[in-house]
A and B are shown apart, each in its own frame.
Chain A
Amino acid sequence: MLSIKNLNKTYHTEEGEEVVALSDINLYVADKEFVCFIGPSGCGKTTLLRITAGLEKPDSGTLTVNNEPITGPGPDRGMVFQEYSLFPWRTVLKNITFSLELKKIPKSEREKIARDFLKVVGLSKFADSYPHELSGGMKQRVAIARALVNDPDVLLMDEPFGAVDAQTRNRLQHELLNIWENKKKTVLFITHSVDEAVFLADKVVVFTARPGRVKEVINVDLPRPRERTSFEANEVREHLLASLGAEIQAAID
């Protein structure tokens, strides 16, 4: 269970200006829920995810995971970044064993665990490849495996499929849902794509233009596996587009 109460975050630019990134955010995410964040660029959704990861600190407000306040990065939260974030000097397998090495798990055991996760993301053949030998979509799959191997309760994903082509993206969405259903994680997923949000999420959180506030939370009660082009999906999509469109207009103005 993840709970965010009255959270605020303001940045100070070098010129001394104040930029309010997040204003009075309140959010509650149940265990094993798949939540998508959507909003205009610069609305603070990445900041919220980074605060949840423990990479940044809020100015005020509380953020708890399983009733424990977040003070820094922790093994209960895994993160997949928008940019390619694999360690280029480690092979695919060694990227996945990274966190297990820190936990001092013996080599044979951690490699066995890593191979299992590599199988989950369908990249067993690439265990000994270096990241530069992989395509963008493969890199992100390894990044997902690397985050999962730590067995976090919450998986934070910052537009992880933003840089891959549309077809790969659809396949990755399917794979992610499979993993989510099998491993039963809470997922916070940032996206710019309404289609992606409607396909993936139990709950879509729409952010306003800066300063970022929660505009509305839409429950997507569609049965899974979902049909991307179903009538119901289109209805949700239409609602989301209208809601988001107003904010994007506001961001431009």
Chain B
Amino acid sequence: MGQFLDIRKRILEITSVASAIIIWEIIARIINKKYILPSFLEVVTAFLELASGDELYRDILTSLNFFVIGMGAAIAVGIPLGIMMGWFKTFDKAVDPIIEVIRPIPPLAWIPFAILWFGLTQYAAGFVIFVGAVFPILVNTYTGFRNTPRVLVESGKVLGCIKNRDLIFRIALPAALPSIATGVRVGMGVGWMCVVAAEMFGVRTEMFGLSTYGIGWKIWHWNSLHHMDLVMTYMLGLGLIALVIDRLFRYIVQEWWLKWQTGVVV
């Protein structure tokens, strides 16, 4: 029975994606203007052509490089800061006003300063991604800590877990992990958004010589040359990579850290 439902679910998924593709193809053929809406087959052709060379892989690696720098910094700053603000009330009161002023500024507004401070380097792109990703991580870590059930903290205390450090790492942090994982996932979503924007400016890296690479960069590049089939290819590629990373993250977190949970929260 379970297996039957599983197959039915799969069939439904495949049908849904296939119909979307067919509708896309039909509309594209009706419009019949490649520079307004390239058809599915045109995009597939463009993709296959692209995938046979190594340009696409350089673009992916470049974007991943920015993404890792930005996300790494966001996690390294967001989680500890969220822990401090969630656990120490005085610290929270002192830092919160600053955060609340900076937080509403859209990450893209930081691009001028990112370039000014870091030049057209991978760190400028990383910085914009960092600004986008750090707040969801910070806020979710903070909320997770704030929502640590009181009875768990008190159980810890009664069992001899008295020091702040022990209470944070042995009780509040594991209790907050589901919330932190959600924060990282939301942060990654915003992070990909920022990748495209950050690459608009043709950030150069030393990775592959002097040419500019990056998925986001290529979207803008091919757009300016009216190669909409390639724009679409890169768009779909970006979505696919973001999806794979999100699934991978979810799988790892669920298998290693959150096995104890009843439901699938992440």
**Which residues of A line the B interface, CB within 8 A?**
53-55, 72-75, 77-79, 81, 83-90, 98-99, 102-103, 130-132, 146-147, 150
Query: Which of B32-40, B122-130, B147-155, B210-218 contacts its partner?
Result: B147-155
Contact of B158 among A78, A83, A103 (CB under 8 A): A78
Q: Which residue on chain A has the smallest CB distance to residue B159?
A: A99
Looking at the assembled complex, report how far the CB atom of B87 sits from the nearest CB atom of chain A, in whole angstroms: 17
B160 at the interface (CB under 8 A from A): yes
**Chain B residues within 8 Å of A73, by CB:** 157-158, 160, 162
B88 at the interface (CB under 8 A from A): no
Contact of A55 among B158, B171, B259 (CB under 8 A): B158
- Which B137-170 residues have a C-beta within 8 angstroms of A? 149, 151-152, 154-162, 166, 170
**Chain A residues within 8 Å of B157, by CB:** 54-55, 72-73
B260 touches A130 (CB 8 A): yes
A87 touches B160 (CB 8 A): no
Q: What is the interface residue range for chain B against chain A?
A: 20 to 34
B69 at the interface (CB under 8 A from A): no
B261 at the interface (CB under 8 A from A): yes
Q: Can you offer 19 A-B residue contacts whose CB atoms are under 8 A?
A: A55-B154, A72-B157, A72-B162, A77-B158, A79-B155, A83-B149, A84-B151, A85-B151, A85-B155, A87-B155, A87-B174, A87-B175, A88-B260, A89-B260, A98-B161, A102-B170, A103-B160, A132-B260, A146-B159
B151 touches A81 (CB 8 A): yes
A150 touches B152 (CB 8 A): no
B90 at the interface (CB under 8 A from A): no
Q: Which residue on chain B has the smallest CB distance to residue A101?
A: B170
Q: Which 6 A-B pairs have the closest CB atoms?
A: A99-B159, A89-B174, A85-B155, A79-B158, A132-B262, A89-B260
Given contacts A73-B160, A88-B261, 7 further A-B pairs with CB under 8 A are A53-B158, A73-B157, A77-B158, A85-B151, A85-B154, A85-B155, A132-B262
Q: Which residue on chain A has the smallest CB distance to residue B178?
A: A89
Q: 1/0 contact trace for B61-83 toward A, CB 8 Å?
A: 00000000000000000000000
The docked-state distance in angstroms from the alpha carbon of A150 to that of B157 is 13
**Chain B residues within 8 Å of A78, by CB:** 158-159
B177 at the interface (CB under 8 A from A): yes
Main secondary structure, interface of A, reads loop
The docked-state distance in angstroms from the alpha carbon of A242 to that of B180 is 53
Q: Which residue on chain B has the smallest CB distance to residue A88?
A: B260
Interface centre among A54, A83, A131 (most CB of B within 10 A): A83
Looking at the assembled complex, report how far the CB atom of A133 sits from the nearest CB atom of chain B, in whole angstroms: 9
The docked-state distance in angstroms from the alpha carbon of A81 to that of B157 is 12
B262 touches A75 (CB 8 A): no
Q: Which residue on chain B has the smallest CB distance to residue A149?
A: B159
**Chain A residues within 8 Å of B154, by CB:** 53, 55, 79, 81, 85
**Chain A residues within 8 Å of B151, by CB:** 81, 83-85
Looking at the assembled complex, report how far the CB atom of A181 sits from the nearest CB atom of chain B, in whole angstroms: 23
B159 touches A102 (CB 8 A): yes
Q: 1/0 contact trace for B171-198 toward A, CB 8 Å?
A: 1001101000000000000000000000
The docked-state distance in angstroms from the alpha carbon of A55 to that of B162 is 11
**Chain B residues within 8 Å of A86, by CB:** 155
**Chain B residues within 8 Å of A103, by CB:** 160
The docked-state distance in angstroms from the alpha carbon of A18 to that of B84 is 33
**Chain A residues within 8 Å of B259, by CB:** 130
B159 touches A81 (CB 8 A): no
Q: Which residue on chain A has the smallest CB distance to residue B154?
A: A55
The docked-state distance in angstroms from the alpha carbon of A103 to that of B160 is 8
Q: Which residue on chain B has the smallest CB distance to residue A152?
A: B158
**Chain B residues within 8 Å of A150, by CB:** 159-160
The docked-state distance in angstroms from the alpha carbon of A78 to that of B155 is 9
The docked-state distance in angstroms from the alpha carbon of A75 to that of B174 is 23
Looking at the assembled complex, report how far the CB atom of A52 sits from the nearest CB atom of chain B, in whole angstroms: 11
Looking at the assembled complex, report how far the CB atom of A42 sits from the nearest CB atom of chain B, in whole angstroms: 18
B152 touches A90 (CB 8 A): no
The docked-state distance in angstroms from the alpha carbon of A176 to that of B93 is 46
Looking at the assembled complex, report how far the CB atom of B174 sits from the nearest CB atom of chain A, in whole angstroms: 4
Contact of A81 among B155, B175, B262 (CB under 8 A): B155
**Chain B residues within 8 Å of A79, by CB:** 154-155, 158
**Chain B residues within 8 Å of A90, by CB:** 260
B175 touches A89 (CB 8 A): yes
Looking at the assembled complex, report how far the CB atom of B145 sits from the nearest CB atom of chain A, in whole angstroms: 15
The docked-state distance in angstroms from the alpha carbon of A73 to that of B156 is 10
**Given A102-B166, A130-B260, A132-B262: A87 and B158 interface contact (C-beta under 8 Å):** no
Contact of A89 among B159, B161, B177 (CB under 8 A): B177
Q: Which residue on chain A has the smallest CB distance to residue B163?
A: A102
